[in-house]
Structure 1
Amino acid sequence: MNRVKGKVALVTGGASGIGLSSAQLLAKEGANVVIADYSIEGAKKAAKDIEANGGEAVGIFLDAGKEESIKEAVEFTIKHYGKITVLFNNVGSSNLKKDLDVVNMDLEEWDRLMNLNLKSVLLGSRFAIPNMIENGGGSIINTASMAAFAGDSIRAAYGASKAGVVNLTKYIATQYGKQSIRCNAIAPGLILTPAAKNNMSQALLDTFGKYNQLPYHGEPDDIGNTVLFLASDESKFITGQTIKVEGGHYLSNPTIPDFREMTN
């Protein structure tokens, strides 16, 4: 308990999945949490549930595609709790019907994802950093993706935007480290969020499982616990890193699963 006691965290996209898990774990360990989400009803419900379990949280609206909305979320956090010491830039999106290969992708989708997935990280950090400096430092955590490290037949815009998150993380860590601001990213593999469970067939899940080195898929708390670690002083000498939380899916020689099947 109390691993982040006294800290104030803004969690974007915090009404469900990875964001919700992170908000719950941060609150359980003593942080005051602002849950910002496009679903204001979901954000308020998440905050209410946290308070029912003895934590401190408030839910607010956020449109991470709009600069003014991001600024308002940061300003609300500072006004409501007096400071911001942890920022979890978690909002992200992709549209598999529009984000295709380079020749066929919808260029408006490219612009949308660069704005929502990458620029939102820049803006959240831009607005939070001055207050973090005033209060002696802070921890910025960004949601990247394993799509930043491997090519795919589709999702070119998503992968490029997440690669940008990985590099932006290094720049923020470099530029503000001397002011005691740490910045790290987390690259999830397949995580069984409610959205993933509702949209992926068992055959597709089995295909992912074939290439995992562990005999199970990731859960939201696997990311949430990583967020908690990076928010806490336990990680005070870690900055500019992208932690891959993906069950070893990208670890081995790609022929290993096939050889396993042959030998079995």
Structure 2
Amino acid sequence: MGRVENKVALVTGAASGIGLSSARLLAKEGAKVVLADFNEEGAKNAAEEIRAQGGEAIGIFLDAGDGESVKHAVEHTVNHYGKIDILYNNVGLTNIRKDLDIVNIDLDEWDRLMNVNLKSVLIGCKYAIPHMIENGGGSIINTASMAGFFSDAIRVAYGASKAGVVNMTKYTATQYGKHNIRCNAVAPGLILTPAAKNNMSEELLNTFAKYNALPYHGEADDIGNTVLFLASDESKFITGQTIQVEGGHYLANPTVPDFKEMYK
């Protein structure tokens, strides 16, 4: 207990999945947490659950595609709790129906994903950093993705936006490290959030499992615990890094599982 005691954290996309897990773990370890989400009711209900378990949290509305809304979330955090020590830029969108290959991608969808997945991270940092400087430092964590490192048959906008998050993390760390502000990212592979469980068939999950180095899929708390580590002083000499939390899915030559089967 107490790994982030008396720190104030803003977590975006916190009503469910990875954001909710991170908010719960931060609160459990002593942080005062602002849960911000487009699903305002979900964010407020989650905050109420945290308070019922002895933590301190509030839920607020956030439209990550609206820069003013992102700014307001930062300012609301500071006005309510007096400071901001931890910013977790977690909001991200993907759309496999419109975010296709280079030739067939919907260009409006490209703009939408760049705005939500990348620009919102910039804006969150832009408005949180001055408060962190005034407060003597802070920790920023961004949600990247393994799609930012490896290509796919579709989702070119998603992959490009997440690659941007990886590089923006380095720029932020470089530009504000002397102010005692660290910036790191976490790159999830397949994580069995409620949304993933509800939208992925057993066949698809088995295909992912085949190529994992580990014999199980990731859970939201696997990311949440990484976020907690990066938010805490345990990681005080780590900055500019993107930690890949993906079960070894991208670790080996992709033919390895097939050859193992062939030579049984």
For Structure 1 versus Structure 2, the TM-score category normalised by the shorter chain is over 0.9
C-alpha separation in 2, matches of 1:96 and 1:255: 26
Q: Which residue of 2 aligns with 1:228?
A: 228
C-alpha separation in 1, matches of 2:31 and 2:261: 47
Alpha-carbon shift at residue 171 of structure 1 (Å): 0.1
Query: Can you list the C-alpha shifts for 1:27-69, whole angstroms capped at 9, x where unaligned?
Result: 0000000000000100000000000100000000000000100
1:137 matched to 2:123? The reply is: no
Q: Which residue of 2 aligns with 1:109?
A: 109
> Percent identity, aligned pairs only?
77
C-alpha separation in 2, matches of 1:134 and 1:197: 42
State the aligned residue count.
Answer: 264
Q: Which residue of 2 aligns with 1:97?
A: 97
C-alpha separation in 2, matches of 1:99 and 1:13: 21
Letter in 1 for 2:222: D
Letter in 1 for 2:139: S
Letter in 1 for 2:112: R
After TM superposition, list the pairs within 5 Å mapping 1:3-152 onto structure 2: 3-152=3-152
1:254 matched to 2:218? The reply is: no
SS in 1 for 2:139: strand
Query: Can you list the C-alpha shifts for 1:114-170, whole angstroms capped at 9, x where unaligned?
Result: 000000000000000000000110000000000001110000000000000000000
Alpha-carbon shift at residue 253 of structure 1 (Å): 1.1
Alpha-carbon shift at residue 113 of structure 1 (Å): 0.4
Alpha-carbon shift at residue 263 of structure 1 (Å): 2.1
1:245 matched to 2:245? The reply is: yes
Alpha-carbon shift at residue 260 of structure 1 (Å): 1.0
Q: Which residue of 2 aligns with 1:200?
A: 200
The unaligned stretches of length 5 or more in structure 1 are: none
Alpha-carbon shift at residue 188 of structure 1 (Å): 0.1
The unaligned stretches of length 5 or more in structure 2 are: none
Query: Can you list the C-alpha shifts for 1:193-212, whole angstroms capped at 9, x where unaligned?
Result: 00000000000000000000
Alpha-carbon shift at residue 259 of structure 1 (Å): 1.0
C-alpha separation in 1, matches of 2:262 and 2:96: 33
SS in 2 for 1:254: coil
C-alpha separation in 2, matches of 1:245 and 1:36: 23
SS in 1 for 2:185: strand
Q: What is the RMSD of the two structures over their aligned residues, measured on CA atoms?
A: 0.4
Task: Provide TM-score, normalisation by structure 2.
Answer: 1.00
Query: Can you list the C-alpha shifts for 1:234-256, whole angstroms capped at 9, x where unaligned?
Result: 00000000000000000001110
Q: Which residue of 1 aligns with 2:156?
A: 156
C-alpha separation in 1, matches of 2:104 and 2:262: 37
1:213 matched to 2:213? The reply is: yes
SS in 2 for 1:120: helix
Letter in 2 for 1:51: R
1:189 matched to 2:205? The reply is: no
C-alpha separation in 1, matches of 2:258 and 2:67: 47
C-alpha separation in 2, matches of 1:161 and 1:187: 13
Q: Which residue of 1 aligns with 2:177?
A: 177
